[in-house]
Structure 1
Amino acid sequence: MDKLLARTKGDRWIWLIVIMLSIISMMAVYSSTGTLAYQKGTGAESYLIKHMAMIFGGIALMYISHKLDYRYYSGISKVLMVITIPLLLYTLLFGSHVNDASRWVAIPGTGLTFQTSDLAKLALITYLARTLSRKQENIKDVKQSFIPIMGSVCVVFILIALANLSTALMLFGVSVLLLIMGRISVKQISVVCLAGVVLLAGVVLLGPRRATYRSRINAFMHPELANPDKSFQADHAKIAIATGGVFGKGPGNSTERNYLPQSYSDFIYATIIEEYGLLGGLSVMAIYLFLLYRCVKIVTKAPKAFGALLAAGLSFSLTIQAFANMAIAVGLGPVSGVPLPLVSMGGTSILFTSVAFGIILSVSRHIDENEQQAKVEQGENTANERRSKKVVVGEILEVA
């Protein structure tokens, strides 16, 4: 154990946060998959074992990602963007359809699928961090800086939004935050936002899922007039939260998991509140807030612009997604397919989330190594000054 701890670098609090979220995830998934297991004629233990395998696989990927120098991700980002855009287009045309949405691509020979938007988030954030850090000298140049940045943001946004509008909106928001941090002018940011609004209107009014988006918005804005089938998940999520009380019903005692179709993924936060009460829900929220706090500290200490932008983009993406999921579960937003990072049962989404954590820890590790090196150099300089003083004092005594 001591050897393993010695090999893990970076912010220890983030490692602890990952462990805490993993434990919460295993408990919540095991509890909420009982009905699904019954329908499939199997035990909930089988889902728990698969979920644990994904969690341990994610931790392994996080360990590998944090051991790599974060500066390597600058070069990888270009490759990721070249892969991501055609993959998103392929997903729209030939991806697996679930709930009238084409978001997944099957991995040949494994029986697994992965959501290409998870890869797109990593690709776009790393690419923006690289581009913004390398073009600081001519950041306001339209041809060299603004058009490539705006083009990458808008292309990824529209390709994701056609199948997954909520994820596209969150990623667009993170991108705008990175543009602000990257010292893009207010005028150029306004142009990007205007382009985003135009694309959003096109997706909502003309996109292939326009009927779904409109019905969800209407169900949220006018729940008393909504079709019961459209508000079914939101209604039972509210029942779960209301019956949870302050202390909850206890682990494994949820009843609404029998009605919520996505109690183990999109609405797992409602299950947590039902079983662990208001205190459990606030505890999960506090963990994500503390994660954001630790990441902000990393951003402020990062010596290079790329490291700061990379850590900021990934941490904003994780925390915005977490609070979006929690807001939807408690009825503060329309229903969407946004999982709770590192808690929801989501297969490969856990792996991509773990890689994001690993990259943040890689930036933190680099900061710690620089601080340690600075302390060593300071100690050596102090020792040299003391030796010099001793030599000078000895020479003065000899002369005397």
Structure 2
Amino acid sequence: MSNFGDTDAIDLNDIGGFWTESIEYRHAAFDALRARPTLPFFPEPEFPGAQPGPGYYALTRMDDILQVTRDADRFISSRGTGSVVDLPPEMMAEFGESIITMDGPRHGRLRRIVSRVFTPKMVNALMDNVTRVAEEIVDEVIERGECDAVTDISAKLPLRVICDMMGIPRSRHAFVDEQTNLLLGLADPDYVAEQDDPLGVMFKASRALADMMHELAEQRAAAPGDDLISMLLNAEVDGEALTPSELASFFILLVSAGNETTRNAISWGIELLTRFPEQRTIWSSDIDKVTPTAVEEIVRWSSPVMCQRRTVAEDAEPVEIGGRRLGPGDKVLMFHWAANRDPRHFDDPARFDVLRTPNPHIGYGGPGPHFCLGAHLARLELSVIFRQLLTRMPDIRVTGEPVRLKSSLVNGIKHLPVTFTPGRGTPRTSA
């Protein structure tokens, strides 16, 4: 681990270098950036098909990020949230109907509509289905004694839950998984070849998912069911409903952000149970009591979405953050991954502690209008699957290094080999 006496040597744009270093190395770098008296500034990375802009400020302190997320009028999302580089107009038009890239009244209108099906009460009503899916997944591997925890467990749970909610047939789940891997794995050669145009791949994958959603929406409009598509088609606030494009964009966000982030939290949770066996013992000794705090700690420690962008609005007054005066057009990249290790907010932040409380992490985004709509569902999925693992596969253990996703956006794991005693544990448990 480096002490990074020279923070100028840290290159947050180096996907093939910095972002492939060990977790410990990267955290040491962010510790050094956090300790600087002023916000560090970085030039924008090169991205095929996009014109590089003036650069961005890296926010690594919790207080700075909270200041930005609470000031959504000044720090807007409509210029982009997942890429520090400004996407071409045609790409922004493609994603312009997504709630994650909306501001002001338009964002509020859409969020009011979709939030009606993501209240804690509605999510709790999904308990039986989430439990059934988790039981199925464990049933499929428990006699084998070994598996890839990502492809056989982590990736399946949120994908099946979300697709079942939307009424998407099992025959099309693999297609959805493939397209979301492309959307969030643009820098990883396992998903997008180096000779391919990443913007073209992004556009094609998003268009494929949108086309599928338009097809299903037409079917539900003709014959409504009790699935989420039907509910969203009929959900109204003040007489307004979702447009077909808004529904398609919301679906893409749900299956990408909701699927990929939860699957990576599960994967890191399995890795952490192996890395910190004493924490597994604490959790296993009282599953009912420890699960809520353990789930929050997994999300804090892993921070599946490592960063998000905001841009100072053109009509905004300048503001000071982290010793810098930011004005219209300035970009900030909020590194939630670093803020969730901020020693000003967490005691011994590098420690994985399933009993940690309080735990004011921002793994679901900071407070403000863009706080994750699916946080309740993510917590439910994590709680249910780890209850299954701890009771039915209590000795599950990682046997090799995680194969990590090559990305500066998602703290992903592509493969994670595990072993366990075949058929061990109670046949089934209810969450």
TM-score bucket of the superposed structures, by smaller chain: under 0.3
Specify which structure has the higher proportion of strand.
2
Q: TM-score, normalised by structure 1?
A: 0.26
Specify which structure has the higher proportion of helix.
1
Of structures 1 and 2, the larger Rg is shown by 1
